[in-house]
Structure 1
Amino acid sequence: MFGRKTQPPTVPHTPAISLDKVPTQLVSLAKAAGTSLEKSGLSGQRAAVYLVVDRSLSMRPYFANGSVQHLADQALGLSVNLDDDGTVPLVLFDSRPYPIVDVRLDRYQGVVAQQHTLHGGDRTMGGTQYTIAMRAVIEHYIASEPADPALVIFQTDGTPQDEEDTRLQLMQASKLPMFWSFVGFGPHKVQFLTDLDKMRGRLLDNASYFHAGAAPTGLADGVVYDGITKEFGQWVPQARAKGLLS
């Protein structure tokens, strides 16, 4: 019929790693992540995926009930689509830095509990200082001499003790090819993250905030992936226009 506009076909997303090389337990996650990437206009996009996890004392129940490990699995499923090295650097933080370890396709089950125990378990969980983790990610990313941008999944359940430093760090990081996707745990939204998402003074909007709630494992994987990737899909062309991406 004359005058009817047809929508361009969705470009199928091709994972960075063939699904036949992915552990069976992660295939459904990888497929759900691929669907979200398609919806966000990120078909064919490549990126290094990082996972930052809050190890403050209030996070104790989320380590205990498997919510943190499930997010690590989801991050790896996303990485399958974006990065062909099959690894997600895991950055734990509280009031101090912890060594970065890789969550890998051949070593991912129970890795969160192992690292938590290695660092003293519940008895050593501290405060909440975002910039410790942010600097660790930035240094690791730059040292890797990357060809692709970084998508940083930054999980937390509360406002940091270093609010002003966090704002400054995010502002400075807006000049780098890095996008920060904040994921909130807990019964209430973190107002600081809502404000951070709208913060002015950056080269471009380099962050988003998705609140997963008090029962993150109860959310469909696709909902979580949509929350993580939606604004990343908006950032990519803006970063390219600013010369941050080739």
Structure 2
Amino acid sequence: MSKIDLRKNIVQYMLERKQLAHISARVGIVLDITGSMQGLYKNGTVQEVVERILAVASKFDDNGALDVWVYDHEFSRLPAVTEQDFNSYVTTQILKNKNIHKFGRNNEPLVMEDVIKKYTVEEQSSLPAFIIFINDGGAVKSTKKVIVESAIQPIFWQFVGIGNSDFEVLKKLDSMEGRIVDNANFIHLEDISAVSDEMLYDQLLNEFPMWIQAATEKRIIR
């Protein structure tokens, strides 16, 4: 079996264990491309992250595609990645793409607003959106405002902190008030390349089931 097929099997197991096997969702990944991320792009870590998250989209998503954004203080919405074209995706679609602004400073709200626009304006659907947001620190405080305001939307934000930053803003997501439902979670994986697929998928899918239930009860998901 190919590596993607093995990972899909692990995702399927996790979905069944967490009683999510019956759920369909649109899946997106938002990739930090600020200056401190340069090494992780060049050593293949980000490519590996995309491939690992693609397995989630392949089992969850209605079309098996993983929607992709990158951001620093600007952002780009990129072509979705699929099982047919994931090889060298980061090199061809990101690093060699001269239209993408790279290795600047953080501005999370800008890209988050585009994610919301895609799933709630451009492509309205009865399916929820599961957004995996990769960040290596320095998230701006106004990120919290976007999360609070988007709590009424069928979007769940799963933030993944990588590296050894303190993640001051993201660590407070679960204690944020003023939301109809808790629509965000944060996990910290200092060295994501050292985390097994089983542990990664287990943690990624830890709070999503609770949000599905709460969002359904509040009729955010219909």
* Interval containing the TM-score (normalised by the shorter chain): over 0.9
CA distance in 1, matches of 2:145, 2:20: 29
> Could you tell me how far 1:138 is from its partner in structure 2?
0.9
> Could you tell me how far 1:104 is from its partner in structure 2?
1.1
Matched, 1:220 2:201: no
Matched, 1:185 2:162: yes
Partner residue, 2:206:
230
Partner residue, 1:82:
60
After superposing on structure 2, the runs of 4+ consecutive aligned residues of structure 1 that deviate more than 6 Å are: none
What is the aligned residue count?
221
Residue from 72, 76, 92 that aligns with 1:98: 76
CA distance in 2, matches of 1:187, 1:105: 31
> Could you tell me how far 1:188 is from its partner in structure 2?
4.0
Query: Which runs of 5 or more residues in structure 2 are unaligned?
Result: none
Deviations 1:183-223 (A, max 9, x none): 1110244121111232111111000111111x211110111
Partner residue, 2:152:
175
Partner residue, 1:149:
128
Q: Superposition pairs for residues 1-246 of structure 1, below 5 Å?
A: 24-120=2-98, 124-142=102-120, 143-160=122-139, 162-164=140-142, 166-213=143-190, 215-246=191-222
CA distance in 1, matches of 2:214, 2:60: 19
SS at match of 1:230: coil
Deviations 1:95-127 (A, max 9, x none): 102132211111111111223323449994111
CA distance in 2, matches of 1:183, 1:124: 20
- Residues 72 and 101 of structure 2 are in contact (CA less than 8 Å); yes or no, is this contact kept in structure 1? no
> Could you tell me how far 1:159 is from its partner in structure 2?
2.1
> Could you tell me how far 1:234 is from its partner in structure 2?
0.8
Identical-pair percentage: 26
- Residues 130 and 155 of structure 2 are in contact (CA less than 8 Å); yes or no, is this contact kept in structure 1? yes
Q: Which has the larger radius of gyration?
A: 1
- Residues 27 and 60 of structure 2 are in contact (CA less than 8 Å); yes or no, is this contact kept in structure 1? yes
- Give the counterpart letter for 1:46 in structure 2: S
> Could you tell me how far 1:79 is from its partner in structure 2?
1.0
TM-score of the two chains, using structure 1 as the length reference: 0.84
Which is worse superposed, 120-129 or 231-240? Answer: 120-129
Partner residue, 1:13:
none
- Residues 174 and 202 of structure 1 are in contact (CA less than 8 Å); yes or no, is this contact kept in structure 2? yes
Partner residue, 1:20:
none
- Residues 78 and 93 of structure 2 are in contact (CA less than 8 Å); yes or no, is this contact kept in structure 1? no
Root mean square deviation, CA, Å: 1.9
TM-score of the two chains, using structure 2 as the length reference: 0.93
Deviations 1:164-187 (A, max 9, x none): 2x1111011100011000011102
Change (3 A) 1:122 1:172: closer
